[in-house]
Each structure stands twice: as structure tokens, then as C-alpha cells.
Amino acid sequence: MLTREENETLTRTNAGTPMGELFRSYWIPVLLSEQLPEPDGPPVRVKVLGEALIAFRDSQGQVALVDPRCSHRGANLFFGRNEGGGIRCAYHGWKFNARGECVDMPTIAPEAVPRLCAKAAIKAYPTREWGDFVWAYMGTRRPLPELPWMEFARVPPSHRHVSKKLQECNWAQAAEGGVDTAHFSFLHQPVASSEDDMAQKAARAVRGYSSQSMNENHVRWMRDDARPRYEVKKHASGLVLGASRRAGPGEHYWRIAQYLMPAHAYTPSATEGQTYHGQTWIPIDDESCWIYVYSWNPVRPLTEEERQGYRTGGAVYPEMDDQWRPLRNRANDYLIDRQVQKTENFTGILGVSEQDAAIQDSQGFIADRTRELLGPTDLAVVQFRRLMLESARTLGEGGTPLGLDDPQAYLVRGGAIVAPAQANLEEAMTMRFGDALGRVQADPIPSTA
Amino acid sequence: MLTREENETLTRTNAGTPMGELFRSYWIPVLLSEQLPEPDGPPVRVKVLGEALIAFRDSQGQVALVDPRCSHRGANLFFGRNEGGGIRCAYHGWKFNARGECVDMPTIAPEAVPRLCAKAAIKAYPTREWGDFVWAYMGTRRPLPELPWMEFARVPPSHRHVSKKLQECNWAQAAEGGVDTAHFSFLHQPVASSEDDMAQKAARAVRGYSSQSMNENHVRWMRDDARPRYEVKKHASGLVLGASRRAGPGEHYWRIAQYLMPAHAYTPSATEGQTYHGQTWIPIDDESCWIYVYSWNPVRPLTEEERQGYRTGGAVYPEMDDQWRPLRNRANDYLIDRQVQKTENFTGILGVSEQDAAIQDSQGFIADRTRELLGPTDLAVVQFRRLMLESARTLGEGGTPLGLDDPQAYLVRGGAIVAPAQANLEEAMTMRFGDALGRVQADPIPSTA
Amino acid sequence: MLTREENETLTRTNAGTPMGELFRSYWIPVLLSEQLPEPDGPPVRVKVLGEALIAFRDSQGQVALVDPRCSHRGANLFFGRNEGGGIRCAYHGWKFNARGECVDMPTIAPEAVPRLCAKAAIKAYPTREWGDFVWAYMGTRRPLPELPWMEFARVPPSHRHVSKKLQECNWAQAAEGGVDTAHFSFLHQPVASSEDDMAQKAARAVRGYSSQSMNENHVRWMRDDARPRYEVKKHASGLVLGASRRAGPGEHYWRIAQYLMPAHAYTPSATEGQTYHGQTWIPIDDESCWIYVYSWNPVRPLTEEERQGYRTGGAVYPEMDDQWRPLRNRANDYLIDRQVQKTENFTGILGVSEQDAAIQDSQGFIADRTRELLGPTDLAVVQFRRLMLESARTLGEGGTPLGLDDPQAYLVRGGAIVAPAQANLEEAMTMRFGDALGRVQADPIPSTA
């Protein structure tokens, strides 16, 4: 439970807010690279952290992210011409490059241009492409931080799949769903009339996850132990969050997520050798966000079957239209089917991603955390909030929040393992990853890269 | 004409407002029973008096009306599972019964449950089913008042028909249309090129009313006497409101409505033996309301022809879609047809109910009663406002408004009669109903019921 | 660049604002005459300068423009009956004539009518029909000013074409587009891969303009000289605004617009004998306006080909639906086609009118003029703002703004001419129109009219 003031701090991300500045101090994804497929292609509107911007890929292939307002008369550069190393306003032809510099003012006499040019620059944010996303740096720190060494971005393109999905609520409650792995005992469960019935329904319930990572046993263990024991450890880029449930005799089933600053989480399901999934919550404004989603396998290329599954809805990917809006959404009650809810799964909604979105949206556009009754299974949520509020405070006091100066600290994994009942989180992690915090032992990219 | 403050008092019904508390002190319909057809069926969103709630029918058939916010983390119980005597939250499985008690907290260790359970209860309103409506009691009075003995609810189901209809304006101006029987001389009139033309057009104009209650003569009398003489009497549950017009020589045509606290009105048209109609205005919020509508015949079952007429639009029933939204509504200007307005009826809009809705909506989302020019034919409107404002004041001062402690006082009727010109309201009522105020002489349900 | 306060003054036009009062002090078009085709036809909703009104054509053919609120109980007269010299409220039959007088109160006893009638009058604005528009006078000046002697309204109906178009932004930035003729060097340019390619693309780019007024040479001159020299002269009804560009050797191509108070502009393209075009910006509210558009030829009737071109989109006329809403609009990004933008025209948007709307809308619902970088080619915009702010101040101080007492001062023309390079604006105007300010020498209507 938070105070009203803490809840505001956690959820508000416009420029000048503590959380807004925290997001801006990190590199964050703002687009899929595929949204800007070619040099001099159409510009794209981008709204991020409450700021309305446009992006375009210039003639050299560099992605620009700029204020859409032409400094001459305020026309919107979205309607401009992306050509010859910049975007040219359609009203009177002023042109701006990817750094926001005004590089042509055809209505101005040549002798007056130098004086005006300096005033005419528009706001532009540095961008990089990394892991098939366009990342932006909207903060003030110079020199720029390094991009985080997230594993999905470091494996060869053949080894990853990326996308994004629209979520119609505040970023923080959606991120809470990512660290709260306890809810799998309910929200994502199949409804089986008998144990015979379970196998098939469990498989349908976890569509898109590999059958090694999420099989009937895993689903049943989660159903049968609704009160996982949580352990949370802080590390150099965030938190590792483990929850263990009773499994076979003398064994525990550990599901261990990673939360990486400022808003990345890795899902807790992947078993040895299986494909990993991650999600990154980037506010559009305070009542909606883009969730950037990615899957990667460090030891092999993704199969076409995996990709096809992700494209059509499964794992962290909902079924979507061509604007990355889930087909099951707020406006249609996620196509909830009450008969399906009686006989097939816990919600009557199809898809793990969709079930998450539905229940998170249902907490309101901005969840009211002043009225809650938290218990031990909410420990991950509590730790997440504490980390975020502390980090915003640290930044505000001139400090450096976790990970910002330590890009290699992002080279971690989360996943699942069945361990002896007496093992604690660090022991389970060591069994699973060879490291107590899930740090990657064999970087997919040589250190010279 | 009201002061600004009086108009606010009359029209605002959120919790804590004088009129909101007045509505809450009575049982009010909040759903059709048919909206919850079976135990453990889908929950339904209900917005009433500005409060967003959900209703569900539990395993025992009892209707719950509760705050949709799960007390654990604030997920919306609309997406929950209605099963085993309560609704279970889809996020982490907490479960609430129809009294709002938290009856299962599977994420909480058993020993901690008793302590938390008390805190975890959610707001729940008592409900009853009565006359095929679900009624709720949203007030603080305990023991609960009795349900009002409205006749439609006491006759056998075969003798009644009920529905509801959406109205897109404040409740009070819609209710004013129900007591203002003077407007029938205009709003609902046919437009006849000649007296020969009148009969057929009059029949079409009053579609859905019995031809005994509303025939060509009645319509003509209303047309020809645009200034009915009003008499209004207060009684134990509200007001009886009679308006007389010149009829045959030495005769007056009386149309007598009932207004029953807090927001029920019976229409004034029924002649001896004919079917009665009533309407109840329940605010959704201050700019829209549900009008619960009902028809009943105390002496015989309704015919299939009558029911069919009500289902397809007639009398107090508009043509509606399956969400009880009239097909003719604000968004489409009620499908006004200006040619029809020239040659067929006064408005160019089809249907008495639709004509009422159109003109009431047209007064604004909340009518401005500070600018009006009222005359003698507006007496019913004036008396209605006075009653409502007095009742709210009475309740606020700790008193008991009309009818609240007197359920049998609701056993009244309204209707029409042709009486000698010298008869006053009480004499006309006595001729029509055997009682000066329209109190029912032969209760359809024996007093032991 | 304006101060925040000046920008508010320029753009806000509700009753009581300086600019709102300035608009109200002039006759302004509020409807097309064709919107009220016949006596006693359907009333039409009109929103103008933030006021919601209705218009109807009474039995005598006079157009009424009145407050839609019935003074009895506030029902909306839009649903009323237009019959017998007035509009009759559908609720209780009160009737109002075109002067807003209450001429029938059937619910009121005859002896009470005279006393009530005076109170019952509703607001009504004087109207005239002039040039196939309905004009209203919403100001306080009495006696009423004369209608402006705009030439399009004085030529025979055969010689003119009129329409209107919806624009989804504040009036002032749209009007600025009308005086800013510099933007033709960019916004409306074709994109030609070679000079050979130019002729055909230039013709498509200026669709709807006569090929004499706007041919390949004109378009090329505008392309090749992006910094026209502006001269602006104030005259008795507004401003004449000329911009000259290099044309053939020793020649300048002058394009000369007229801006007439309070919000009329004539386009600068017409060459000798060709058809003239004009636009009038009338605020609906502060975030949208109707642009009344008109074309006229003082020396001959318009051809059917011209009319057909205007009806289907060309010159100042966009392609529109039957409610005068452009098919290319804010909601669909004006159907911008990025391929067309690469190879056919500067914006990828079809139509000069549509290109103007797109770029003006793109400045925001109300352009922010506190952040701009104006240069010499923005002189017309600067002069326009100065004129408007001065005029509002003049009116506020009890003075008479330009043209208000001088209807004949509206008898001016704007257009284009190729003149010797040394000619100034007044010399070019004299060459083109025989008068230094473009005053019409041969009035199409004899002075006795």
C-alpha cells in the first residue's frame, strides 16, 4: 500500500516528474526498427513519456526523434518531406536534420540564415538501434550512457524475435504484473473438470511457451500451490525475484524473474535451453503504455514455428492488428467468453498476454494503491515499488540509479528450475544459471564486440 | 422556475447530495431480473446514482450488488468468476459473497485469514426481486424498509409486462414529462388535414395504448382543449395529478396520473378495465437515467398482442436495441422526418415514448430551470418539484419522507374518465376508482401474502 | 510573434471577447442559402462565434436566426414545427417569429398572453441573403450597417458559384494561410523529375484554377523564387497584399490578394478576364470554422465545366461530403500518400484547398504564435495580425473599424500580373485593374441598384 503521494510519484512520468526524469536518465525503446524500414521513408508519430514527437529515418539511415513543431510558424513536420538528410516542412520549406539543426531556410535571405539558424533548432533526442528497437535518450546526462547489455539485443538477429503491444493503463501496474509471478496460480490457469482433462487444457492455456518450459506439471504445480514463497535480491541493474512452489516430493518449482531498471522484466518460465522472453514498459502517457516484447534463445536460432506462434499470439505476444493494438482490449472486454470461463480457463479470455492486460487494465487507468491488502505473495510488487521510488529519489539527489553506469550488469537471465526443497533462491539460481543472480556466464557476443 | 441552488438540489444524485440521499432512502429498481437469468451466470455492470457497481446472481439465486473493486489489489470483479456462492477475483482468487464478505483468500496463510477477512469486505447493497425487477437498497436505514406495494409487482406475472429504456438526460426533466399531462395536446398529436383524416392518424399516434383507453375522441378532446385544468392532491406516497379537458357537452375528460416517491409515475390514460402503465426514473448519473417501464392489468392476463406491441414499440415502450437503447435517440435526432411532421404528427418522430425522450433530452443534459415562464398548465411540474425538494429537506432533517414507512400507500392507480363537467378531481377519482385518491379497493394479492 | 495575450485576443471570438465583438460588428455569412431551400422547411442548427442557434426560413421566405431555447420550459426549437410565419415548440406549442417574438402561447389563457408575451421573446439576429449566402448581424449597432459590396454578391447568379467547407482549427491561422501567398513556393508545388515532367504535374497541382491564371510558367516562377518581395497597403476596407517573384527577363510575376474586414480574402491568382475566388472565415467556435468560398467572373457567366470542377474539388473547393466536410481531413491525415509526396507533389495530399487545410490544422487547434521565427516573407501575416488587433482595439474604444461604414469599399479585386521588374505594388495594381488598390472601375451592378 502506498500513500497518495507515493502513488503519484510511481505513476507520473511527464517531463519534470521524479519518475519521468528517472525514465529519461536511461536509454529506452521508442519504436520498432521495422516501423522505419528505409532511409527517407515516411515519418512516424511517437508519443513517449507524455511528449508528442516524430521519428524519421534520414538519408544516411540514422533515426531522428524530434519535436514535430517547425520553428518557423509551428506547422507539424509530420506532414513534411523526409529527403536529403532531413525533414523539410511542407509549409515554407524549412529543413531540419536528425540533430534538430535547421539546415535550410529557403524563405530567408542567405545573409540572414547564419544568425537565424541557431535560434531555429528544434528539440532532438539521440537515438540508437539495438536489438531491432529504436532507443532514445531523453535525459540530460552527457556523455551519453552506454546502451544496456540486454542479452536479446546481443544475440544474432536470427536468435531473437521482437514486437510491441499497446496497453491501456499506467505503466506501473502493468510492470507489477510482470514481477508478480504469484498470479499464475489463478489468472492463467486452465479450468479442468478432471485430471485427465488437464493436459490438453494446460497446453492451450500456455500457448506460445515452449512445452519444455511450461508443461502440464508446471501448470499443475502452480495451481496446487497458490502461496509461493518469494525471495527478492537486489543486484547491480535491478532485482532478481524468485518464487518457489511445491513440486514433486522433496522438490520445489522455482520461477525466477528479473526486473531491470528502469522498466524491463524477464519472464520466469524458461527452463534450460529454452527460449527467454522479456517485456519493457514505456509510458505513452500516464494512462497508456507501449510494452516492448522480445524473445531470444542464446544457443540457437528461433524456429519458424516459434516466430509464427509469436506473430499470431502466444507467450508474451497477444493477437494484434497492424497497429500493435491487441484484438482483445478494453473496448471489447477482451472478448471475454463466460462459457469459456466456466469450462476452459480461469478468465474466459484467450491468451496469457491478453489475460494480463485485462486484469491490469481493470485496476483502473491508474491503479489506486492507497487501498490494498497486501500479503506475503505480494512481496515482489512491494520490492518493485520500493526500488522505483528509491531510484527516483536517488536520481533527484544527484546520485546514479542502478545500472545506469553499468551496462554489463544487464547481462542476466531469469528462468525456472526444479530444485531440492531446501535450496534457497541463490542456490536455485546457481543450479540454473551457474550464478547466484543469474549473471550470464557465456556472453553471446565476444567482449571485443 | 427554480433558483440555481434548487435546480442543483433537484438534479444531483451522487452519494452525499440531498436528492441522492433521498433516492437511497427508498428501494429502487436497478436491473431487470432477466438481466441475471441464472445462478452463477455472468456478472453485469450497473451504474446507479453515479456509483459504478456490479451485480451477479449467486449459486443460491440471490442477486448481489457490490463494489467491483477487489480489496486485495483493486482488480475489477467484473472479470471474476461467479461460482460457489460468490464472485472470485480473476487476479489472485479472492472471493466475495453477496453480502460483500470475503469468503476465500487463497494467497493468504490460513492462520492470517481471520484477521484480514474483516478488512477485506467490499461494499454490498441489499437486493430484492419484485415485479421482475431487481431492487436495491442503497441507504442507511435499518431495519430495511419494506418494498413498495406497487400493483404491477403484486399481480401474477401473467398480468404484467416490464422492461427498461435508456434516457440521455437528467432524471428530473424526464420525470417532469411524466407528470405534465398537458403536453399531450401538442407533442403527441396527430396532424390531420381534415376530421375525416383524424381517426386513422389518431390510432397511429397512440400506438401501443388500448383503443378503449386512447381513441379518436380522446385525442381530439386533447387537441381541442390545450389548457387543461389541473388539480393536484398530496397523499401518503406521493401526488395524484388530474387534468380535465372539455369533452362532450356537459362533460370533462379527466386524465389522472400518480407520482409516487421517489420517482415512479403512473400514466393517466387507462379507462376502466384497461391495462395500466407506469414508469420509474433511476439516475445512472446526472446526465442519463434508466426508465423502468411496466404495464399491468389487475383483472386479466396481458394478451400476446399486448406484449408484442410493447416489445416492438408502443405506449411507454420505444423501439429498442438489445441493450435497451432506443433506436431513435440523441445521436440520430430521433430519426425526425420533416415530411412526417408536416402531414402525420406534431413532431415527425415516431412513438409516444420517443417523442417524450426527444423533447426532454432537448431541454439539455440538465435542464436549466432558472429561466422559465410557467403557467397554470405547468402546475403538475411545479408540484412535483416542490414535493421532491421538500422530501429531500425532510430526510435531511431526520424526518421520514412520504411512503417510506408506508408500503401499502403505493397501492394506488391512475387513469382516465369522462365525468360531468362540475365534478372535481376527488369526485372524478371516486367515480373511476371508488376512492378519491385512487387507492386500490381490491388488492390483487390477498393481505396474507 | 505575438504575446500570449495578443494570441488570445486574435483567436477568441465568443461573445464578449474583443475579436468576438469585432466579428459581431460586421455582417457575416452563417449559412448557404441553399441550406434553407423553401419556406416552412426544416430548421437547421447553426453554431457561430460559439453561439448555438437555429435558422429557419419562414412562410414569407425570410430567414430567422434565433436562440433555440423555448422560453416556456427550455425545449429545443430545432424539433419544432416551422409553420405559419414562425417556429412552434413541439412540447406545448409556443410559437416564435423570425424576430424572436412569441406570437402564440396556446397553454396560456388569452387574457394573460399580452403580459407574458413580452417576457417570452427569444434572441433573434437580423439576416439578409446576399450572394447566395445567408448573412447575419449579431452586433449591437443600430441602424444596421449595410451589407458589404463584395463583387461576387453583386454579379448575376449566373456569374458566381458559392459553397462552404469545414476547417478544424481556429479561424485566424486559416485566414493567415489566405494572406500568406509565399507558401505557394512549397506547399502547393508539384514535384517534377525534370522540366519535361513539369507541365503535366503543374496542371494537376492547380486543378480547378483556370489554365490562363495558373499555368506551368506561373508554377515554375513560384518554385524558382521562394522569397517573394511583399508590399502591403491598407485601404478603406482592409489590406491589399502583393508579392512579386522573378519571372521572364526584366519581369516580375505579381500575385496580389485582398483581405477585407473582418475575415474575407480574395485569392491572388486571377489574370485578366479569368474567374476570381474568395474565402471568408467564420468561427464555429475557437477550434473550428466554416470557410465560405465563392468564385465569380464579372464579365461572363461561369461555364458548366467551371462549376463541375468546383463541385468535385479544385481551386478553393475541396472534395467534400454532403455536409461540407472535406473528404481529406484531420481524422484521416488528409489521405496523405507518401509515394505521391515523393514523385508528384510537395505534400502527398491532393488538392490546393486540402493542402492548405492540412498545414493550417497542423499548427494546432489554436496556433501558438508566441514561438515563431518570422522573416520578410511573413510580412502579410504580420500585417494581418496587426490589422485585426488594431481593429478590435478601435472598436473597443468606440471607434469604427475599417469598412464597417463604407460598404462600397468592398468593391475591390485581387489577382496576378506580369509587370516590369521596376514596378511597385501600386503600379502593378494599376496595370492590372486600372487602380492602385484594385478598386473596381466598372461595377457589375448599376449604382442605382
Concatenate the DSSP letters of all residues of B269-332 into one string.
Answer: ---TTSPEEEEEEEEEETTEEEEEEEEE-TTSPPPHHHHHHHHHSBTTB--B-TTS-BSS-GGG
Who among C76, C92, C120 is closest to B362 (CB)?
Answer: C76
Who among A69, A90, A108 is closest to C186 (CB)?
Answer: A90
Q: What is the mean pLDDT of residues A102-107?
A: 96
Q: Per mean pLDDT, which range of A126-140, A214-228, B6-20 is the poorest?
A: A214-228
Who among B42, B79, B106 is closest to A359 (CB)?
Answer: B79
Q: Residue ranges of the alpha helices (H) in A225-375?
A: 304-312, 338-343, 352-361
- Tell if the CB–CB gap between B185 and C106 is shorter than 8 Å: yes
Q: Which pLDDT belongs to residue C442?
A: 75
Question: For A166-208, what is each residue's pLDDT tens digit?
Answer: 999 999 999 999 999 899 999 999 998 888 888 889 988 988 9
Is the Cβ–Cβ distance between A283 and A23 less than 8 Å? Answer: yes
Q: What is the mean pLDDT of residues C143-150?
A: 98
User: Is-cis flag, bond preceding A126, omega within 30?
Assistant: no
Burial C65-98 (b: 16+ CB within 10 A, else e): bbbbbbbbbbbbbbbbbbbebbbbbbbbbbbbbb
Q: How far is A124 from chain C (nearest CA, A)?
A: 17
Short-list B150, B74, B171, B159, CA closest to B365: B171
Q: Is C93 on the interface with B (CB under 8 A)?
A: yes
Question: For residue A73, which amino acid is it?
Answer: R
ipTM score above 0.85 = yes
Q: Taking a contact as any Cβ pair under 8 Å apart, which residues of chain B between 162 and 191 contact chain C?
A: 182-183, 185-187
Q: Is B224 on the interface with C (CB under 8 A)?
A: no
Q: Per mean pLDDT, which range of B191-195, C13-17, C239-243, C366-370 is the poorest?
A: B191-195
Short-list B24, B280, B63, CA closest to B171: B280
Chain A residues in contact with C376 by the CB 8 A cut-off are 107, 109
- Tell if the CB–CB gap between B375 and C76 is shorter than 8 Å: no
Is the Cβ–Cβ distance between B380 and B180 less than 8 Å? Answer: yes
Q: What is the mean pLDDT of residues C45-65?
A: 98
Q: Which residues contact A383 (CB under 8 A, 6 or more apart)?
A: A179, A232, A239, A241
Q: Is B1 on the interface with A (CB under 8 A)?
A: no
Q: Is B79 on the interface with A (CB under 8 A)?
A: yes
* Pairing, β B415-420 against β C27-32: unpaired
Q: How far is C403 from chain A (nearest CA, A)?
A: 29
Residue A121 pLDDT exceeds 80: yes
- Tell if the CB–CB gap between C372 and A74 is shorter than 8 Å: yes
Q: Which pLDDT belongs to residue C285?
A: 98
Placement of cell 370533462 in the chain: B252
| Residue C338 three-state SS | helix
Is the Cβ–Cβ distance between C224 and C201 less than 8 Å? Answer: no
Q: Which pLDDT belongs to residue A441?
A: 81
Q: Which pLDDT belongs to residue A449?
A: 42
Question: For residue C169, which amino acid is it?
Answer: C
Question: For C194-232, what is each residue's pLDDT tens digit?
Answer: 888 888 899 889 889 988 888 999 999 999 999 999 999
Chain B residues in contact with C105 by the CB 8 A cut-off are 375
Question: For C97-137, what is each residue's pLDDT tens digit?
Answer: 999 999 999 999 999 999 998 899 999 999 999 999 999 99
User: Grid coordinates in use for C26?
Assistant: 460586421
Question: For C252-305, what is each residue's pLDDT tens digit?
Answer: 999 999 999 999 999 999 999 999 999 999 999 999 999 999 999 999 999 999
Which residue does chain A place closest to B40, by CA atoms? A342
- Tell if the CB–CB gap between C362 and A78 is shorter than 8 Å: yes
Chain B residues in contact with C119 by the CB 8 A cut-off are 373
User: Is-cis flag, bond preceding B42, omega within 30?
Assistant: no
| Alpha carbon distance A385, A396 (integer Å) | 17
Who among A79, A106, A108 is closest to C359 (CB)?
Answer: A79
Mutate to test the interface with A, among C179, C186, C377 (most CBs of A within 10 A): C186
Mutate to test the interface with A, among B35, B71, B79 (most CBs of A within 10 A): B79
- Tell if the CB–CB gap between C108 and B375 is shorter than 8 Å: yes
Q: Which pLDDT belongs to residue B443?
A: 75
Which phi and psi angles does A58 have, rounded to 5°? -80, -175
Q: Which pLDDT belongs to residue C195?
A: 83
Asked whether the whole model's pTM tops 0.90, one would answer yes
Q: What is the mean pLDDT of residues C341-351?
A: 96
Who among A42, A76, A107 is closest to C377 (CB)?
Answer: A107
- Tell if the CB–CB gap between A226 and B93 is shorter than 8 Å: yes
Q: Which pLDDT belongs to residue C446?
A: 63
Chain A residues in contact with B69 by the CB 8 A cut-off are 371
Residue C431 pLDDT exceeds 70: yes
| Residue C394 three-state SS | helix
Query: Which chains neighbour B (Cβ–Cβ under 8 Å, 3 or more pairs)?
Result: A, C
Q: Is C41 on the interface with B (CB under 8 A)?
A: yes
Chain C residues in contact with A74 by the CB 8 A cut-off are 363-364, 367-369, 371-372
Question: For A284-320, what is each residue's pLDDT tens digit?
Answer: 999 999 999 999 999 999 999 999 999 999 999 999 9
Q: Is C398 exposed, middle or buried (0-12, 13-18, 19+ CB in 10 A)?
A: exposed
Chain A residues in contact with C375 by the CB 8 A cut-off are 105, 107-108, 112, 116
Chain B residues in contact with C91 by the CB 8 A cut-off are 183, 186-187, 359
Per-residue pLDDT of chain B (449 residues; tens, 9 = 90+): 999 999 999 999 999 999 999 999 999 999 999 999 999 999 999 999 999 999 999 999 999 999 999 999 999 999 999 999 999 999 999 999 999 999 999 999 999 999 998 899 999 999 999 999 999 999 999 999 999 999 999 999 999 999 999 999 999 999 999 999 899 999 999 998 888 888 889 988 988 998 888 899 999 999 999 999 999 999 999 999 999 999 999 999 999 999 999 999 999 999 999 999 999 999 999 999 999 999 999 999 999 999 999 999 999 999 999 999 999 999 999 999 999 999 999 999 999 999 999 999 999 999 999 999 999 999 999 999 999 999 999 999 999 999 999 999 999 999 999 999 999 999 999 999 999 999 998 777 765 44
Residue C448 pLDDT exceeds 50: no
- Tell if the CB–CB gap between A74 and C227 is shorter than 8 Å: no
Chain A residues in contact with C371 by the CB 8 A cut-off are 69, 71, 74
Which residue does chain B place closest to A375, by CA atoms? B108
Question: For B56-94, what is each residue's pLDDT tens digit?
Answer: 999 999 999 999 999 999 999 999 999 999 999 999 999
Structure-model confidence comparison of residues B444 and C449, the more confident one: B444
- Tell if the CB–CB gap between C75 and B363 is shorter than 8 Å: yes
Q: Taking a contact as any Cβ pair under 8 Å apart, which residues of chain C between 326 and 385 contact chain B?
A: none
- Tell if the CB–CB gap between B376 and C92 is shorter than 8 Å: no
Rounded (10°) CA dihedral C161, C167, C171, C172:
-100
Q: Which pLDDT belongs to residue A448?
A: 46
CA gyration radius, chain C: 23
| Alpha carbon distance B309, B175 (integer Å) | 23
Mutate to test the interface with C, among A35, A77, A91, A96 (most CBs of C within 10 A): A91
